[in-house]
Chains A and B, each alone.
Chain A
């Protein structure tokens, strides 16, 4: 009997659990679910209890690992050969003894690996003369200007404080277009001395500010919730939207055959595209009673064909696993084909990043969201944005 905690609203882990029991009838499940926001509050208590879940969705990792609440997975990684998998898969879940993410001991595994980029409405894109995805930021700019001139909403994005500011997506994509991803990851992983306030990031923030001033985002973005942005884009409001492949399913359902995906282009022609990619992080409690079984489940999810199929069909995200794994089939016309094809492009370039919203536990709520909202409201400029977020970052790390 495996005790597990999953996230409400995401049925795939449950489907995987059911399939696992079908294949291994001696394993049954005791599953509880909660909202992500509640998981942040309850997970430490669950982990510290005498009867913790064996397998659980981790809203964050570092603080739990620091408190010794998570099982060290290094031995499992060796035994199952996870350490032979392509590198970016595991390193976001590694942590050094001084609490810096990116390398060190493995404390969690991803059930799958998300990918971000630009989704577009195919009909509207044709209308503004887009025949192929832009190859540079400048080409993308031209398309946005064409959309504006055609009286269309160039980009649909969410931005309310309740949902968290969606402009963090285009901002980070622009950062990776103007500069290398290494320093961005260092900042996210809290490497000593890392700063977000760099010259190339300033260019990125200024570019975003231009987009805002040009009216490329909806005027009411500060009040738009995540779900509303998704449904407005699906309904045809917005030529482009910055989002991740977890949204593939709803897009496919809402606008079948009419949604496309491309990676954010680099600043210079011939440069490598970059993307945010994060594992759907699950861990094993340090005091778990069935840790071996939970670790076997991790391995099974990434390597079993049926499990990989469930993952791709349900989530639309890359199931990871060994480099030579067979990619599950996807329905023709689904945008998942495009996101899955984009994954290896980013992987080959070594240009995957974690999210700048994940640098510290409240940098999103206290830094990016309010400061980007102020930028939309004309109360903050590019330089001030980076300075304010960096100050908040240092304040949180200092506490």
Chain B
């Protein structure tokens, strides 16, 4: 690679010769930025093809009436009006916000506690095993997990058998088929999926905290809980912000976890905007309508996420 090495030589020799810097540094700057662009290019290309283009196309499609194949008809903002006729649209949005509790608040809070316990008491092999086990749901294909959870939560399933064995036979039910319990049951699957992610992220953050802080706190006689509140949580603000952001998006834009566990049923008890988008686009083949709902969902997610981002960044600085 002769070219970069030559440029390196040029740059080192010019370091001390201040009077030649302006012309050469501009040249050097251009060279380096070109090299930089080359490094970024593969990722940028992927990002453009798989993120930016679909993103812009979704916005574009939302102004058309289109079945995915036939001719596209410009309908202006009509899709954004029609979308409100989708059965129980407001209900699906309320369900999405309910899922924030299950997919975000519980995994992040529980994750903080579990990560802190693992960090404090289980640094050896046990810690590694615990982390692996808790992270495993991220690795198991969700479709398989959905089938397994379906069996576990079924009326003849393991969870009901355990409940019966310990004398709670009266509360057994088909959890995913019960109008009142289906959403919490989906939430349980969500906790199972997302907890490991939160733990790994938060524990990585904890590893970066200076142990001297804990030592001095312990010398002052602080309890585990005091350490947790006064040191761990404040210093993990940024990581907590990331966890909350990712999990809130997972809740509001939920599709996969709900699809594999209930597909929105029973009735529309667990239907969320993501499910409606899928049905509109791929079952009803109203790509324009589906895109309009997707754009609205994106705006909703941004409205919720931006304040969270702002809060976690602001204080971290």
Contact = CB atoms under 8 A, between A and B. Distances in A.
A121 B176 CA distance: 28
B268 interface: yes
Contact of A221 (B177, B271, B280): B177
B154 A161 contact: no
Interface residues of B, number: 35
B169 interface: no
Interface string B129-170: 000000000000000000000100111000000000000000
A48 B175 CA distance: 43
Contacts of A67: 67, 69-70
Contacts of B173: 220
A395 interface: yes
Interface stretch (A22-30, A140-148, A320-328, A361-369): A361-369
A362 B283 contact: yes
A397 to B, nearest CB: 11
Interface string A300-314: 000000000000000
Interface stretch (B43-51, B94-102, B212-220, B257-265): B257-265
B279 A365 contact: yes
A175 to B, nearest CB: 22
Contacts of B155: 218-220, 223
Contact of A222 (B68, B150, B265): B265
A399 B177 contact: no
B55 to A, nearest CB: 20
Contacts of B2: none
Interface in A52-76: 63-64, 66-67, 69
A224 B178 CA distance: 12
Nearest to A232: B156
A395 B279 contact: no
Contacts of A188: none
A396 B284 contact: yes
B283 A365 contact: yes
B265 A160 contact: yes
Nearest to A161: B265
Interface in A370-394: 370-371, 373-374, 376-377, 379-380, 392
B283 to A, nearest CB: 4
A380 B88 CA distance: 15
A98 to B, nearest CB: 15
A360 B286 CA distance: 12
A219 B179 CA distance: 13
A283 to B, nearest CB: 14
A40 interface: yes
A220 B284 contact: no
B266 A222 contact: yes
B68 A44 contact: yes
Contacts of B67: 44, 63, 67
Interface of B: prevailing SS: loop
Contacts of A13: none
Given A47-B69, A396-B284, A399-B82, A223 B176 contact: yes
A399 B279 CA distance: 14
B285 interface: yes
A159 interface: yes
Nearest to A367: B87
A197 B51 CA distance: 45
Interface in B276-297: 279-280, 282-286, 289
Contact of B177 (A223, A380, A396): A223
B42 interface: no
B279 A222 contact: no
Interface string B242-276: 00000000000000000000111111100100000
A222 B82 contact: no
B56 to A, nearest CB: 20
Interface string A194-236: 0000000000000000000000001111111100100000000
B154 A228 contact: yes
Nearest to B289: A399
A220 B70 contact: no
Contact of B283 (A64, A361, A376): A361
Which one of A63, A66, A370 has the highest number of Cβ atoms from chain B below 10 Å of its Cβ?
Answer: A370
Contacts of A223: 150, 153-155, 174-178, 266
A162 B147 CA distance: 11
B85 interface: yes
Interface in A247-300: none
12 contacts: A44-B68, A66-B70, A160-B176, A161-B262, A219-B155, A220-B174, A220-B177, A222-B178, A225-B150, A374-B267, A377-B179, A399-B286
3 shortest interchain CB distances as A-B pairs = A223-B177, A161-B265, A220-B174
Interface of A: 40-41, 44-45, 47-48, 63-64, 66-67, 69, 159-162, 218-225, 228, 360-362, 365-366, 369-371, 373-374, 376-377, 379-380, 392, 395-396, 399
Given A48-B69, A160-B177, A366-B279, 9 more contacts: A161-B265, A221-B177, A222-B265, A223-B176, A361-B283, A365-B283, A366-B87, A370-B87, A396-B284
